[in-house]
Structure 1
Amino acid sequence: MLLERIYDEDLAQASYFIGCQAKGEALVVDARRDIQVYQDLAAKNGMKITAVTETHVHADYLSGTRELAAATGAEIYVSGEGGEDWQYGFEAERLLDQDAIRLGNISVQALHTPGHTPEHLSFLVTDGAFSDQPGFLLSGDFVFSGDLGRPDLLDEAAGGTDTRFAGAHDLFASLRDKFLTLPDYVQVYPGHGAGSACGKALGAIPSSTVGYERNFAWWSNYLEANDEEGFVEALLDGQPDAHAYFGRMKRENLQGPAILGERTPLAELATGDVATALAADEIGVVDTRHNTLVHEGTAAGALNIPAGNKAASYGAWAMDPETDQRPLVLLAPDSETATGMWDHLIRVGIDKVAGYITSLDGLPAYVPETLAPDDMAGFDAALLLDVRHMTEHTAGHIPGSVQLNAGRVLWHTEKLPADGVIVSYCQSGVRNSVAASALRRAGFNVVELEGSYAGWKHMQNA
């Protein structure tokens, strides 16, 4: 048996490739939308992807299940659990508790493990060529290394009302009746690692075991004492901010994400043509450089979504493709960077990219306004905005600031003053530049605090 973990640093998300060497067949679990990595793995190992599945209706990224099936002809399997409201809106085989997908001697058995979501499945893997007993659990967003999937996302991002309590009780039952009945040696491969907003204290190690979690995870004492109410209270306390785009991901993943098919390589565009389209408000420009370079000058109205390991996350904070249908033009140094950026953006459903430019020449120039920390006292601001996480704000903030997470601010502009200047900050300036560019594009007058909170704190300690 071949078991490969494919990890996306951007969204702290893991997908899995399970292959049977004897039959040359493979299954992919929780695929992302840029699917070449799975096709390359199959080709490298002389396998054909014959099945694709996912653990649940994801909130933090757009599923690549349908994309991969369309490209390979693989059979789609999804959860049939969770009740009427959680049935997928596209054609697929429905998996119920204890159902199995088979690849030669390999059995991939579905376990209904609700809590994070009502329909959630985990997959218990048995390598029949080695043993008749299961050895691996793909736990999705049920059990992480050192933590559990949060049960409050349906309230926070999908329009639910107090579903968190039922979810927390379901999670307790799933641990008791499913997870803790497994042998200690079963290796656990979760769907996320540190940095994901799907839990509050995820570990960075890529895997664990049932025994390790049983003995050392924060929740183990509550299960041992059968203290369900204490477990629920501890689980729900201190969960991080949920990003606003999660609601869109839930809707699109349940309905079935659009299939992109083979994408045409991005073309380099003439800046003169881009300037004309920009003046007609037919496109949007994305400056993919670091915020320090953006602050030296960018294009008027440009979003700052820096290329790199957080491009999908930042892109989903900075624009909503449901309400803004304008295609994007990426400012990038070369085709490779632009293509990599596009790969990240489609993971969160930002599909319309018209091409790229390598220069700002000919575009309307704009220099973002900034404010030095020692000039704050005499500056007349209508609002001092902290775009960090709530936990960061609680741990320490600039007096008088109002917290509104960068991943939520564009969807809660009613909380911002319609007139006057907004001074914004994050921890170091990167997230703030993303949020500030989005708010400027939405018509707000935003000044960025130089050095953000770290710069202000340094001045206080000087």
Structure 2
Amino acid sequence: MKIEQFEYKPLAHYSYILISDGEMAIIDPERNPMHYYAYAKANNATIKAVFETHPHADFVSSHLQIHEETGATIYNSEKLGADYPHQPFDEGNSIKIGKATLGAINTPGHSPDSITIVAKEGDQTVLFTGDTLFIGDVGRPDLREKAGKMQAKRQVLAEAMYQTIQEKFTHLPDDAIVYPAHGAGSLCGKSMSDANSSTLGNERMGNWAFKKQTKEEFVDHLLDSQPFIPSYFGYNVDINKTGAATLRKALAAVPFKMGATAKGVIVDVRSESDFKKGHLQGSINIQATSEDSKFETWLGAIVQPEEKFSLVIDKPEDLEPMLERVAKIGYERQLQTVLTLAKESLLKMKPLDLQDFKQHPDKYTIVDIRNQSEINEGKFFEQALEHPLNELRETANKIPTDKPVVVHCAGGYRSAAGSSILESELDGVTVFDLSEDVNEFKK
């Protein structure tokens, strides 16, 4: 049994391939399945199955596309209520992939329809735990409370997670390898390890969820201080329940224009420095300047599902990779056009006089756009107004406009987006981005 892990860093997402005796299964695939196909070709393997441990909230899966293009059977819990062709895969069900036997454990907690896939061949046991069991943590139980059409109360799911951890893994050996669907940086949990795998024995010793505790203690800890929920999460649950369109067809429908302009909601993915030198009025600067940037998360947190928007890129060769990044969260459906900028009619953003700000901070309205959990741990400026970035478009009208505004986050990436939002929303007010200079004010 050969296992290959694939990582998509911006969403801290892990997907997997399992190969045994020339047959292959794919677990929790990302939106573009081509690298799984390439791996199958390189290993002379036939794709027989694709598994969904649950309908993911933070990314769009390619399970339906894989089924349509390879004939592979989709397996998921019947509790999911999937609208695509599939075979139920719950406790008591199992299939063979080559010489490996794959079975299911129903492991509710993150969602009511979560399963863990148990793969065995010889003495080897591998667990694909989805968003149930992470390395050092368990999946958050609050994503289904207001998420899309498949709702469940966080208290009920937190209690279900307690039962899952207490009961569902007890028959499995300590040397079983744990492969989760996410790692550190994902918003599907709050305290995940940087490690990309573990053993069940190590988790029993080191993961807080396995420690001896009452149900009340477990639930209180699990529900406490979970990170914010981006707007797109419920939308992605519903897409994954139905099955996403084939990626090639979806992206082909998006128009591209050179040297153009746009109106309405505009997302500019260029670097902060390029954006400040010249941008379209109303643009939001969500940078996608590196392969690791959290572009998808913040696109889906700032722009609402179904909300139409245009995308500004730096150069034509950025078109295909940016379209694919937008499609990771299913937002290609609402993308009206992708464009490079014309040189005329662009706005510039004034740089902050840092020395004046240091000497006279009372001359400015300071806006802290970090997540509420970060703000609760301590403020950099006591007088700063709290406006988390994911809420800023809705709360901007509450910010006083009698002084210039200085926007800060924790390191500079988010403040580029936040300052651009306020520049658009606060008419006649000078808005500054503290950017990386915020590091000079950390205590």
Scaled by the length of structure 1, the TM-score of the pair is 0.84
Match of 1:231 in 2: 218
- Structure 1 346/234 Cα, relative in aligned 2: closer, same or farther at 3 Å? same
CA-based RMSD of the aligned residues comes to 2.9
- For these two proteins, the number of residue pairs brought into alignment is 431
Change beyond 3 A, Cα 1:439–1:180? farther
1:73 to 71, 77, 86: 71
Q: Where in structure 2 are there 5+ consecutive unaligned residues?
A: none
Using a 3 Å threshold, how does the CA distance of structure 1 residues 172 and 284 change in structure 2: closer, same or farther? closer
Q: Alignment partner for residue 296 of structure 2, among 282, 299, 312? A: 312
- Write out aligned runs for 1:362-373 (5 A): 362-369=343-350, 371=352, 372=354, 373=357
Shift of 1:260: 3.3
Corresponding residue to 1:196 among 186, 190, 211: 186
Deviation, structure 1 residue 187: 0.5
Letter in 2 for 1:270: M
Task: Note if 1:137 corresponds to 2:127.
Answer: yes
In structure 1, the gaps of 5 or more residues are none
Give the Cα–Cα distance (whole angstroms) in 1 for the partners of residues 396 and 338 of structure 2: 34
Instruction: State the match for 1:323 in structure 2.
Output: 307
Rounded to whole Å, the distance in 1 between the matches of 2:63 and 2:362 is 53
Amino acid at match of 1:392: E
Task: Tell me, in whole angstroms, the C-alpha distance in 1 between the residues paired with 2:349 and 2:150.
Answer: 38
Residue of structure 2 equivalent to 1:13: 13
Tell me the equivalent position of 1:269: 257
Conservation of the 8 A alpha-carbon contact between 1:424 and 1:447: no
Q: Which amino acid is the alignment partner of residue 219 of structure 1?
A: A
Match of 1:233, SS state, is helix
Does 1:290 find its partner at 2:278? Answer: no
**1:36 to partner: Cα distance:** 1.6
Tell me if structure 2 keeps the 8 A contact 1:108–1:126.
yes
CA distance in 2, matches of 1:445, 1:75: 58
One-letter amino acid of the structure 2 residue matched with residue 340 of structure 1: P
Contact 1:116 1:150 in 2 (8 A): yes
Matched residue type, 1:94: P
CA distance in 1, matches of 2:198, 2:304: 36
Aligned-residue identity in percent: 27
Moved over 6 A (4+): 159-162, 265-268, 442-446
* Selected match of 2:41 from 31, 43, 47: 43
8 Å CA contact retained: 1:112, 1:122 = yes
- Which amino acid in 2 is paired with 1:320? Q
Q: Which amino acid is the alignment partner of residue 232 of structure 2?
A: Y
C-alpha contact 2:397 2:426 (8 A) present in aligned 1:
no
- Equivalent position of 2:234 in the other structure: 247
C-alpha distance in 2 between matches for 1:92 and 1:306: 38
- 1:62 corresponds to 2:60: yes
Shift of 1:370: 5.4
Residue 51 of structure 1 deviates from its aligned partner by 1.6
CA distance in 2, matches of 1:162, 1:110: 22
Moved more, 192-201 or 228-237: 228-237
Q: Take 1:33 and 1:354, find their aligned partners in 2: how far apart are those partners?
A: 20
Counterparts in 2 of 1:368 and 1:160: CA distance versus 1, 3 Å: farther
Cross-structure match for 2:112: 118
Deviation per CA, 1:363-421: give whole Å up to 9, x if none: 42012355443354123x4xx432212222122222233434323434xx157428837
The 8 Å contact of residues 32 and 247 in structure 2, kept in 1 or not, is answered as no
What SS does the aligned partner of 2:247 have?
A: coil
Which amino acid is 1:16 matched to?
A: Y
Question: What's the secondary structure of 2:16's corresponding residue?
Answer: strand
| Conserved? CA contact 1:3–1:16, under 8 Å | yes
After TM superposition, give the deviation of residue 209 of structure 1 in Å: 0.6
- Looking at structure 2, the residues matched to 118 and 346 of structure 1 have their Cα atoms a distance apart, in angstroms, of 26
Amino acid of the structure 2 residue aligned with 1:87: G
Listed as ranges, the matches of 1:414-453 within 5 Å are: 416-417=397-398, 420=401, 423-438=406-421, 448-452=431-435
2:390 is the alignment partner of 1:407: yes
Q: C-alpha separation between the residues in 2 aligned to 1:249 and 1:404?
A: 25
Q: TM-score, normalised by structure 2?
A: 0.87
Q: Any idea what the Cα deviations from partners look like across 1:295-338, whole Å, max 9, x if unmatched?
A: 222222333222222222232233234022x4x34322351x33
Partner residue of 1:89? 83
1:198 counterpart SS class: coil
